Structure 1
């Protein structure tokens, strides 16, 4: 009888062990499905055995990553879908890369004399060119390091990729500011990635696994519209000045307004318009403006400050997105020009994309409404979640490369709190 009990005990332990292994295997499968498209950019500085870790922080971010929630998905998303839940783990991969570069002391300073430095252009040569080439190779913008001291076509391609990742004007010139940026310590890159991983955890739950959403990233001056899990539309934008910042918040777009009036905020009337009207009695008429119930508004038309269309979403900051006649402002690298609203370079195209499946709004009707003399409002049948975010590090879904953007509002210097953990950028 004693031997029989021992046999039963051994069988029970074996059953428990096999159940535990099966459960772990199932969890790995789930994680693999959610995060299958990771950073595939070849790097010589990441161990071949390394892999993304699915941390407690990541679990908090991915609200719907358990088996039950996956079963309840009515429309399973494709692996290449733009799920915001994946950004945390993509940044974690980037963090591992940069930590390894730091450990191996591969991030070497580019030697220049600031007093005598002249902009580098294609086919220039020198030691600095060789050092820049090495840096772009380490950073992943070049596939190989030829050690050449000549700024050749190969390096030109690497410079373009670098500038694209850093949100810079796409040209081949390398200025002193560009070299100073490259010479920032890798420890700062690491801090930036860590801080933005924390910001990922603040993305609203309704957007975590959304297949349709609009996201504006303030530091990158870019708008992304994702529909059915795929990138449907992108556009450059410009945002609020440092003294009139664009706020960070989430909402739901519910209206598109064609040929809009611009109801001038009282602060602008008091601080700007009254001075202009005092010096020029015809100021309002010359700018297609009029008094309306004690307020000033600008009438619809091509010179309207809101352009031909605006996009509304409820929020306490009175912020919305709109077209703009000031297209020349999009040529600047740092685009902080507005009073807080988001100005879209391709606003007209965005309106067409949003309404392309609405039979009540064919393209001809949209164009007619945009160029009318009367304000026309379209109530969206399918409201679109929108998130105005602030990410100075972001991994591209298309390329798997990490992008770094200017800290335009200096928020990276502020304290970011994660329970008892503080991440502070000096």
Structure 2
């Protein structure tokens, strides 16, 4: 970027001389020819891109970048500046080729070449603007369970709005303006500097370390915790209280059981390299760009690999509970998307998904018609079917004509309340009778829906905006034992996300395991697109 800035004044002078001729300060006939050549070059170069072509047709093929005016000088100056800084956002800087554009500016010798350069600058601008605002990748092309609707802006609008804006202000407003994105950028720079200084030192070779131990492996553990910022520098060689506390802090920041013992899972996370963590940061920044939209003053945020569900009010977490998410099996992964919660159902029935009916329950019914007695079998009109009158053995997955339903009860698979944001994936948040699973470190057990550890408290928090006594109201509905729909008067956006790197409320970066392997696929795609890891010296 320094090299680019060093040549800026020379480029402006070059443009000024060429455009002086093109705009008519020499012989009139020559000037007209130059203007014609410039416009024709713009038209021809823009023809392969409908959005760019439309922009220049509408403007009468006026230049946006290469003119001699102060405005255009400022535009190209800021374009080169921000393209040169693309790597700070974890973007594929080679796509925008700021140095190459600078060289072409120097080499432009006539109006035709300037016209071609004009369009090339617009192409680079559009690529950068869209990618820094809404991401480099198309999520669903990387993983079919990332079904998020990215808030893409109309490409032509970038050029139109930029032409009417302050260049620096326009560029600064493109990336996500969230505290999360800023924290990720800060962590990226911190890790790059640490990498330049030699990283975190040797990895820990021991399989398990406990308080009271001493020796070379404990020293390696101590040094790694110091390098990571969890422990103050010291020369002690024993796994003492300070090391125990540092291990606990590390465990809390990595979604591990905070027992202060460096067991296998903890050592595996401690041994992960800075490049591995940087990959997670790059992926998190890309995911943040995919969600570069208003998320709602109040919204629900589910983070799949963090196994949590939170209510956010005005950027502040006002409620949080543990969750169980989809198992790491084909067809059970919880998808990523956003929708709007409209109501909750108290004392819900469980209408068994067709996939579970034919893949899990039908095989059992073929062997024994009285299997899964807690589930009703119903016909197409919702009437309960007498099991004794059905020969289940004659049906296949495709021909089985019945549905299955579990009536409201404390043993219902959905527990006593479910929270609905109707969507085509049939995903929702709900209670569960399997409370023991919430004590696990890794909580991926469901068929895809999100189970909540504290569903009643979650309901009270949601109802607090519309009921003077939310708990009393909810309990009165629950006491009827009847399936009851409770409308949420101000619908709440729900964002189901997947973040293995994110900032905590206190600012320390949190890391989680990539339970579905999604981040690994995203990083591979980003690398294939030209994103590279760097260290930062100085």
| TM bucket, shorter chain | 0.7 to 0.9
Superposition deviation, residue 174 in structure 1:
1.5
2:284 is paired with a residue whose SS is helix
In the aligned structure 1, how far is the partner of 2:201 from the partner of 2:244? 20
Instruction: Report 1:381-420 matches (<5 A).
Output: 381-396=489-504, 398-415=505-522
Q: Is the 8 A contact 2:201 2:227 kept in 1?
A: no
Look up the match of 1:46: none
Indicate whether 1:60 and 2:133 are aligned: yes
In the aligned structure 1, how far is the partner of 2:199 from the partner of 2:233? 13
Look up the match of 2:242: 154
Look up the match of 2:350: 262
Q: Deviations over 1:333-384 (max 9, x none)?
A: 2211111100111111100110023237642231132344311001111111
Look up the match of 1:6: none
Superposition deviation, residue 387 in structure 1:
0.6
- Structure 1, unaligned runs of 5 or more: 1-15, 25-54, 64-82
In the aligned structure 2, how far is the partner of 1:204 from the partner of 1:300? 40
1:206 is paired with a residue whose SS is coil
In the aligned structure 2, how far is the partner of 1:260 from the partner of 1:206? 32
1:407 is paired with a residue whose SS is coil
Superposition deviation, residue 229 in structure 1:
3.4
- Structure 2, unaligned runs of 5 or more: 1-69, 79-127, 136-150, 152-175, 384-401, 534-538
In the aligned structure 2, how far is the partner of 1:177 from the partner of 1:109? 18
Query: TM-score normalised to the size of structure 2?
Result: 0.60
Superposition deviation, residue 57 in structure 1:
8.3
Instruction: Report 1:290-329 matches (<5 A).
Output: 290-291=377-378, 292-293=382-383, 294-329=402-437
Instruction: Report 1:188-337 matches (<5 A).
Output: 188-207=276-295, 210-242=296-328, 243=330, 244-285=332-373, 287=374, 289-291=376-378, 292-293=382-383, 294-337=402-445
Query: In structure 2, do the counterparts of structure 1 residues 225 and 84 end up closer, same or farther at CA, with 3 Å as the change threshold?
Result: farther
Q: Is the 8 A contact 2:304 2:325 kept in 1?
A: yes
Instruction: Report 1:92-111 matches (<5 A).
Output: 92-111=185-204
Superposition deviation, residue 204 in structure 1:
5.0
Look up the match of 2:106: none
Indicate whether 1:91 and 2:184 are aligned: yes
In the aligned structure 2, how far is the partner of 1:423 from the partner of 1:263? 45
Q: Deviations over 1:299-356 (max 9, x none)?
A: 1111111011100112211100101111111122221111110011111110011002
Query: In structure 2, do the counterparts of structure 1 residues 149 and 100 end up closer, same or farther at CA, with 3 Å as the change threshold?
Result: same
In the aligned structure 1, how far is the partner of 2:130 from the partner of 2:256? 32
Between 347-356 and 327-336, the greater mean CA deviation after superposition: 327-336
Superposition deviation, residue 191 in structure 1:
1.5
Superposition deviation, residue 56 in structure 1:
6.6
Query: TM-score normalised to the size of structure 1?
Result: 0.75
In the aligned structure 1, how far is the partner of 2:527 from the partner of 2:282? 15
2:344 is paired with a residue whose SS is strand
Superposition deviation, residue 95 in structure 1:
0.8
In the aligned structure 2, how far is the partner of 1:281 from the partner of 1:274? 9
Q: Is the 8 A contact 1:262 1:299 kept in 2?
A: yes
In the aligned structure 2, how far is the partner of 1:283 from the partner of 1:211? 48
Q: How many residues are treated as equivalent by the alignment?
A: 349
Which of the pair is proportionally richer in strand?
1
Report the aligned-residue RMSD.
3.0
Which of the pair is proportionally richer in helix?
2
In the aligned structure 1, how far is the partner of 2:531 from the partner of 2:514? 16
1:283 is paired with a residue whose SS is coil
Indicate whether 1:187 and 2:294 are aligned: no
Look up the match of 1:40: none
In the aligned structure 2, how far is the partner of 1:302 from the partner of 1:188? 44
Q: Is the 8 A contact 1:395 1:402 kept in 2?
A: yes
1:205 is paired with a residue whose SS is coil
Instruction: Report 1:353-372 matches (<5 A).
Output: 353-359=461-467, 362-372=470-480
Superposition deviation, residue 211 in structure 1:
2.4
1:386 is paired with a residue whose SS is strand
In the aligned structure 2, how far is the partner of 1:380 from the partner of 1:328? 29
In the aligned structure 2, how far is the partner of 1:281 from the partner of 1:419? 54
Q: Which has the larger radius of gyration?
A: 2
In the aligned structure 2, how far is the partner of 1:289 from the partner of 1:150? 61
Look up the match of 1:129: 218
Query: In structure 2, do the counterparts of structure 1 residues 133 and 307 end up closer, same or farther at CA, with 3 Å as the change threshold?
Result: same
Q: Deviations over 1:9-46 (max 9, x none)?
A: xxxxxxx9xxx9xxx9xxxxxxxxxxxxxxxxxxxxxx
Q: Is the 8 A contact 1:166 1:405 kept in 2?
A: yes
Instruction: Report 1:3-82 matches (<5 A).
Output: 60=133
1 or 2 for the larger relative contact order (CA 8 Å, sep ≥6)? 1
